[in-house]
Every structure is written in structure tokens, then in C-alpha cells.
Structure 1
């Protein structure tokens, strides 16, 4: 029992759409996030540099010590918020001014020289508190009497961190919402798009043995499904032909088997009705053996037709000498032909691209037929004629001319020209059918002509492809 789960193609495609949408939107959001982060960092660094430049100008142009002592509120107002810090101190000494409402630990950084203009590269970015980044810049100034002082200003970027976190959350939420919407829309669109496929499946489900002639309609079907419809209709055509042939074979077999079985039953029942001599029983057994041999040959031929594997036949093809093969047939049937005063002539050259056993069986069936129905004291010609496309093998004999209306059906199973031959223990009506099957396996051709007392069967084997 198969316990494997089968998943909906519509659901799979909808999930794929959702994942793609989420991936694309998330990628876009991450790219925009990094761009926004760079711009905010640039803005904040520019603000720190501007503030440091203001302090340098202010302290260089005024009485530094008096300004620090008399107007500390001025410096606090310049910071603007409680997350900013300012320190003015001589190197290695206690700060002259320290504004640090948030009690942030001020790191020690190298100040920018007095004659050096501040730039973005002079801003130092540190981890800060609880993952919130801290940016700081330090610069040296010449305060006159106090000598060289170091101005250090910095800011904890809480606002920027909160803004970026909100942006990240918004991007994630929007990506999820868009993915869900696209999944639903994709599910509906795919479900609607697969409607023709469901109609085809329903139509195909209604086709059975009783209506194999029906075909799937391609009207209004998307072009992607047209190859499948054509393949399915071709398969139905093959199945229909197969069922017709199977029915015909079954009918023919029942008809063909009925005659020898009825003969066996009738003769045996008559023999059992009264005592007979040993000679009579021997004659009965001999007659029964003939019928049983006929049945055995018929079944053997039917099994050959059923078991012949096209793939195996194609794999085992070889290049065979036409002269050797026709000579082999002539030697094999020489004794049988001499019994009915028929001479065999084999001639020809070239190469046959064929499976050896199948080729010999086809030629043997044709030769056996030619000897069986050939006129006494006549000649049987086995000939090979090569050309650019392949090679033709022909078997010709003299005898009764076959009426033209029978020629197209000679290769059908159980078909006989003369109904009187139906009771012959040597004939079962499958020899030429086997020849036709062998030629079909080799992608070759077969034909027959009968004129002025000369009947010629011809087989054409294509040449080997490069």
C-alpha cells in the first residue's frame, strides 16, 4: 500500500510565490535599511563635527576660562539633549567643564590637532550602552593663558537606533503581509489556471474500453497543454488499434483452434464408441499427432509475436553479409525443395543491418511458403539487391497467381487465400504475420506481387545510420 502523501500543485506554487515575494521584499528592505543607516550615521556625524567646530571657534575667540565659569549653561544648550556629553579639559588634568546628564562613560580618544579641519573620518563610533552606538569626536584648541585644551563631545544614538529598529520591523511586517497577499492571489490564479487541466482529467476519466474512439478536445486549451493532449490522443489511438487487433486475434485464434480441437474430439469420440484394431488406433494417434503438432506450431508462433521485444531486437542488430545469408537459406531448404523437384538459386551481395535470428526466421518463412505452394520442376530465387538506402531481399517462385484482392491481406494473422488449405496441418496462417512483425521491428518494408504465375515477396532493410 502506498502511504506517500500527495501535495497540491496549486498550494506548492502559492507557497513558492509567497517565499519569492518575501525574499525579494526583504532583500529590498535590507538594501534600503543599510542606505538609510548610512545616511543617518552621516547626518549624526556631521552634527557632531559641526558642534565641535562651533566649540573650537567659540573658545578660540573668547576668554576661555571666563566663558567656562560664567556661562556653563551656554555649553549645555549647545548639546541639545540629555544623551550628549561635553568635556573641556587640559591633557591629563581634571575637566574644566563636564556636561554629562546621562552619566555616560566618556572614552579616551586622540584629539584632532588645532590646525586640522574636522572630517567624517575623525568621528569615532563605539558600542555604547546596551547595544546603542555612541559617537564621539575630540579636538585640540589654543586657549591662550590656559594653554592647549581638549574638547571632547559625543552623543548616544538612541533615537537613531529606535528609528532603525522601527524601520526593520516595518519592513518585516510589510514583507509578511505582501507574501500572504501574493500567496492568496497566486493560489486563486493558479487554481483558476489549472481549470483546463481538471477538465481534461475529468474528460479522460470518462474514456474507457467502450469509447476508445473518443479524443480529448484542444479547444480553448492553453498551448502548454497541447503537447500533452496530442500525446494522450496518440496513446488512445494506439490503444484503440491494439484493442481492435487483440479482439481480431482472439476471434481468429478461437476460430483456428476450434478446427483441430473439434477434429481431435470427433475422431477420439468415434474411436471410443466401439472396439477397433491396433492399426486403427495407430492411425487415430497419428492423425491426432498431426493436429497436436499444428496446435503446437500455432501457439509457438503466437508466443513469438507476443514476446518479441523491439528494444532487444534493435540492440542486437549486426552487419551481415547478404551473400552468406541467402546461401545459408538455399543450403537449409535444399533437401525440402528437392523432394518437390524445386531448384533453389541464391544470388546477391551487400550488407544487411539486422538481428541475425529474426532475419533468418523471416527468410525461412518466405522460403517455406514458396516451396509449399511452388510448382514442381520450377525454380526458387533468393536474391539480395543493395542500394543507397539499404538492401532488398526477395524470394520468388512459380505457381498459381494470387488474385490481386488477396495481396494486401496476406500478412494478416490467420489469413489464407485458399480456404481449402485451412485444414492443412502444415499451415496455421501466422508465417507471413511473423515476417511483417520482424520487418516492423527493423523499421523496414515488406511487399508482395503476383503476376503471370510468378509470386515475389520482397523485404527491405534500411542501411545502418552513421
Structure 2
């Protein structure tokens, strides 16, 4: 089905509106004129009967008809009128009917009753032309002392006047509709020119020009909000595309290292025949690299699922004392290897969170703290209960993180210390997973580091009432 352009639809709608308004106004004016003409013609007919009544009252009817037969014809004024004078129930004394109109048979108004517009009878003659008539009794001096006056008129002139007026209304309405449609199309097209320019600018956008922004200064006020939103979207796309490019590069680098090691060791082993101890060591080394690959892939899959808006989490009210105790037991071995002490502040705090996701987030923070803390220091796991939610923090003593790195620590594959990129246990995804988990909980995450104290804080909102 063909879709009409916005310009065509707007101009058509405006033209239809103008046509509707013109038709409504024209119909109202036509009906008003018609009613006024009907009142005028009815009044003229009543006046004529009154004049004849007065004339007959002052003159002898028989003498008047005999001496002045043309007087009554002159009183009619045109050939479409008729006049009949007769004594009641007797043949007409005079009948003037040049148009040969049918003589109406209507009850006359009594001689002593006043004539009003209600006495006029309305009918439709041949050809659909209105015909008006009236009848009244008039007192005379001769017997039988009352004459019946019947008069009527065929309203051809009024019909022609109304037809001409109606045709003029239709003509004016048609011309106004066509002109409105044409002008509306022209002005609408000109008015939509900024939209076409906006479409042309957006058509030039691609990954090479994501930094380009659409100008808002000369844009119409109605489009500024749209352009501002579009520029904001471009900014988000630019940031995300840049991050995606960085992620792809980092992931390719991180995947290339273990794969290169696996390929190199396997190639060396295949050149010459080796003893069983060599192959056992080779398999052990390959197993470690494969574990690193599996962990990296698992983390990437988790981040992909967490980025899905439809990812559902099952939040319950958790006792943080129990969770801290479980994590302390799990990390007691790795911490002891570096002479670190795990300190848990168990003050009865609770958190409304998904158990598995909360444990994974805290495990990543503890793993980072154990990896970078100074040997022989303490790692503090703390929870602060507040009305609006619960803040959980992990603190360790060690080298400070430069301020320019703090904001990017939670980006994928980002490492503040480039010298640690060769660490087989680090993939650069741990803190990114923490951020994704907090986004799923509609929470907040924060990192601060100064005076050799580094603290990572997670805020879990309270359960809605």
C-alpha cells in the first residue's frame, strides 16, 4: 500500500478542513438567506391581500370589477401570480392567472381576523418550484356582503436567486479548497525543509564520523529537543563504539597470548619425540592456559547476559555476616599465602540482593585486593546499613591507583597497571563484572585510593516497601 508523504497528508488535511469550514459557513448563510426570502415573500403576499381587503371595503365590488378590470391585474405585479375574487360558494367574479397555476383550495381567514404569516400556505409546484398562497374573507357593501380573496405566487425568481447563490458558494468553496491545498503544500514543504536537512545530515553519519554532531543553533525550536536527543545518542554510540573497539583489541590480545603459548608449546613438542615427563609438564602447562581461556570466555558470556535488559535476578534479604563468613573461608588460603589477614565487620547488616551475584561481585573485589595488597597487611570487608540501602566496601593497603585510572577501572579489559597484563590469573574483566552486577541491582559502585589505602564500595538499594 502506497504511503503518502507528510507534506501531502498535511496539505490534504488542511484543504479538507478549509472545505468543511467553507461548506458549513456557506450552508448556514444559504439557509439564512432562504429563510429571509421566505419571510419577505410571505409578507408581500399578506400585504397584497390586506390591500385588496381595504379596497373592497371602500368600493362597490361589482362596480369596481366592471369599471376597472385591469386594476387587480396591476396589483399582482408579475405573470407568476394569481388572484381569484368570488362570493362564497359561487363562481369567481374575477380570475387573474396568467401562469395557469392550479387554484389552491384553502380555508379563508375570517373577515374580522387579522392576517399573519401563519395564513400563508406553502406547496411545491411542477419542477420543484415553491408555490405560496393565502385566502381571506373581505367585507363588502353588497350582498352577500363577503368576498373570498384567494391569491398565490410561483417562486421562480426566488428559486433562481437561491440557485445562483448556492452555485457561488460551491465555486468559492472549491476555489478556496484548491488554493489552500496548493499553498499548504508549498508552505508545508518549506516548513519541513529542516527535517530534510536533518535527514541528509544523519544519512552521512557512519562509524567514521561518530564524533560529528548536528548543528542546533539554526534549527527550529520544535526540532531542537529532537536534535539534542540525537546528539546525545551519537555521543553514547561514540563512547560505546570506542569501548567496543578497545574491548575487541584487548580481547584479541588476551586471547592471542594463551593461544600462542599453546601453539608454540605444541609445535615444539611435535618436532621431536619426548619422554613422558616432558609431555606431562606440557599437558599441565596447557591445562593452565586452557583454564585461563575458559575463565575469560565464561566472564565474557556473563557480561553479555548481564547486558541484556531482560536479564532477571532473584533478590532476597541476605545476612551479610553469613556471606562474609563464607567468603572469608573461601579466600583464607590465597590470603594466607601472601601473609594477609581478612577482617570482617559483622554488625548484623543485611542486603536485598541476588545471592549468587552478590557473592561473585565480592569475590572479584576480594581477589583484586589479595592480588594487589601489601604483604602482611589486612583486608577489611565492611557493611554499613542505611535506610535507603546497604553499602559494602572492601579495603586493602597497597600502592595507590592514579586518579586518571579510577574512573576507568570498571571498563572491560582495562588495567591501571600495565606491568600486570601478563598475569595469567587476571583477564581485566573482574571489575567490569562487578559493574554489570550492580547495574542489574540498580545500585552504585565507587573506587577511591589515597595514602596507600584503596577502597571499593558497592551500594545495594533497600527493598521497596
**Aligned counterparts of 1:348 and 1:158: Cα–Cα separation in 2:** 105
Alignment of 1:252-271 (within 5 A): 252-271=250-269
Preserved CA contact (<8 Å) 2:320 2:346: no
**Aligned counterparts of 2:417 and 2:165: Cα–Cα separation in 1:** 95
* Cα distance change on mapping 1:360 and 1:125 into 2, 3 Å: farther
Structure 2 length-normalised TM: 0.90
Partner of 2:303: 305
Preserved CA contact (<8 Å) 1:344 1:380: yes
Of stretches 347-356 and 274-283 in structure 1, the one that deviates more from structure 2 is 347-356
Match of 1:134, SS state, is strand
Alignment of 1:411-450 (within 5 A): 411-417=410-416, 421-450=420-449
Partner of 2:133: 136
Preserved CA contact (<8 Å) 1:343 1:378: no
**Aligned counterparts of 1:369 and 1:138: Cα–Cα separation in 2:** 115
**Aligned counterparts of 1:183 and 1:456: Cα–Cα separation in 2:** 69
Preserved CA contact (<8 Å) 2:395 2:455: yes
Give the superposition deviation at 1:87. 1.5
> Alignment partner for residue 120 of structure 2, among 112, 120, 123?
123
Partner of 1:35: 32
* Cα distance change on mapping 1:415 and 1:330 into 2, 3 Å: farther
**Aligned counterparts of 1:231 and 1:187: Cα–Cα separation in 2:** 29
**Aligned counterparts of 1:40 and 1:70: Cα–Cα separation in 2:** 36
Preserved CA contact (<8 Å) 1:334 1:343: no
The answer to whether 1:16 aligns with 2:43 is: no
Partner of 1:246: 244
**Aligned counterparts of 2:310 and 2:325: Cα–Cα separation in 1:** 28
Preserved CA contact (<8 Å) 2:320 2:349: no
Of stretches 206-215 and 358-367 in structure 1, the one that deviates more from structure 2 is 358-367
Write the deviation string for residues 281-318 of structure 1: whole angstroms up to 9, x where unpaired: 232222212111211211221222233246435x7574
Preserved CA contact (<8 Å) 1:310 1:441: no
Alignment of 1:91-106 (within 5 A): 91-106=88-103
Give the superposition deviation at 1:42. 1.0
Alignment of 1:374-385 (within 5 A): 379-385=378-384
* Cα distance change on mapping 1:87 and 1:352 into 2, 3 Å: farther
Give the superposition deviation at 1:9. 1.3
Partner of 2:164: 166
**Aligned counterparts of 1:282 and 1:25: Cα–Cα separation in 2:** 97
Give the superposition deviation at 1:441. 4.5
**Aligned counterparts of 1:55 and 1:41: Cα–Cα separation in 2:** 21
Give the superposition deviation at 1:352. 3.8
* Cα distance change on mapping 1:346 and 1:279 into 2, 3 Å: farther
Preserved CA contact (<8 Å) 1:301 1:434: yes
Write the deviation string for residues 185-234 of structure 1: whole angstroms up to 9, x where unpaired: 11111111122222222222222211211111122221011011101111
**Aligned counterparts of 2:119 and 2:408: Cα–Cα separation in 1:** 102
Preserved CA contact (<8 Å) 1:340 1:376: no
The answer to whether 1:68 aligns with 2:65 is: yes
The answer to whether 1:337 aligns with 2:332 is: yes
Structure 1 length-normalised TM: 0.90
User: How many residues in Structure 1 have an aligned counterpart in Structure 2?
Assistant: 459
Match of 2:109, SS state, is coil
Structure 1 gap segments, 5+ residues each? none
**Aligned counterparts of 1:408 and 1:132: Cα–Cα separation in 2:** 91
**Aligned counterparts of 1:104 and 1:26: Cα–Cα separation in 2:** 36
Partner of 2:191: 193
**Aligned counterparts of 2:348 and 2:446: Cα–Cα separation in 1:** 21
Write the deviation string for residues 86-111 of structure 1: whole angstroms up to 9, x where unpaired: 11223333322222222211222121
The answer to whether 1:327 aligns with 2:326 is: no
**Aligned counterparts of 1:260 and 1:59: Cα–Cα separation in 2:** 131
**Aligned counterparts of 1:245 and 1:128: Cα–Cα separation in 2:** 89
**Aligned counterparts of 1:401 and 1:43: Cα–Cα separation in 2:** 107
Give the superposition deviation at 1:347. 2.1
**Aligned counterparts of 1:92 and 1:318: Cα–Cα separation in 2:** 107
* Cα distance change on mapping 1:403 and 1:234 into 2, 3 Å: closer
Partner of 1:203: 201
Cα RMSD for the two superposed structures = 2.6
Preserved CA contact (<8 Å) 2:307 2:436: no
